[in-house]
Amino acid sequence: MMKRVVLFSVVLSVAVAVVVKAQTNANFSGSWTLSKIEPPPSGRGIGGGGDEAFGAIAQTVVIGQTGRDLTFQSGSMKAVYTLDGNTAVTPPGDVNGLKTRAHWEGSKLHLHYKRGQNWCRDVLSVNGNTLTILRDLESGGGSTTRTITYTK
């Protein structure tokens, strides 16, 4: 009888952990349209030198998400992330390729990407039809942080 109680407790604990994990991982899939940028771009851009392609803020972003990976299309830039915390390189094996990594922090998804000396971290959160991206970017010796809001 005691073995059954212990076994039932273990099975129940695992089931609850799976349900809790499923509840904390938001789904960001969809086409999102730019709504607001804070602070607004100054015209001198990222780090004082013009909003460049790396980290540029697109009018529309398209996100495709499965259980294992996420595709983030922002303007002409497309990045693929695995949702397991591992780094992916596109094209594979290219030292100058785009390096991407994603990890969850509660219901927020952290997307890290790096190419050469440029790096960026986007923290994505979703509330209904609103996608908020907190973007930290270092490019060309300067850095900036912006909150970018998109709607579905």
pLDDT at 43: 62
> Model-level pTM?
0.76
Q: Mean of the per-residue pLDDT values for the chain?
A: 82
In a domain, 119, yes or no: yes
| Angstrom distance (rounded) from CA 82 to CA 100 | 8
**Reduced to 3 states, what is the DSSP secondary structure of residue 47?**
helix
- Cis peptide leading into residue 40 (ω within 30°): no
pLDDT at 44: 53
Could you tell me which residue, 146 or 7, shows the higher pLDDT? Answer: 146
In a domain, 7, yes or no: no
**Reduced to 3 states, what is the DSSP secondary structure of residue 118?**
strand
Cross-strand bridge partners of residue 127: 130
| Angstrom distance (rounded) from CA 48 to CA 43 | 8
In a domain, 60, yes or no: yes
In a domain, 19, yes or no: no
The total of structural domains in the chain comes to 1
Percent of the chain with pLDDT over 70: 76
In a domain, 15, yes or no: no
In a domain, 22, yes or no: no
| 34: containing domain | 27-151
> In degrees, to the nearest 5, what angle opens at C-alpha 52 toward C-alphas 66 and 60?
40
State the pLDDT confidence band at 114, using cuts at 50, 70 and 90.
Answer: very high
In a domain, 124, yes or no: yes
Structure tokens that stand for 67 in this block: 């259980």
In a domain, 17, yes or no: no
CATH number for the domain harbouring residue 85: 2.40.128.20
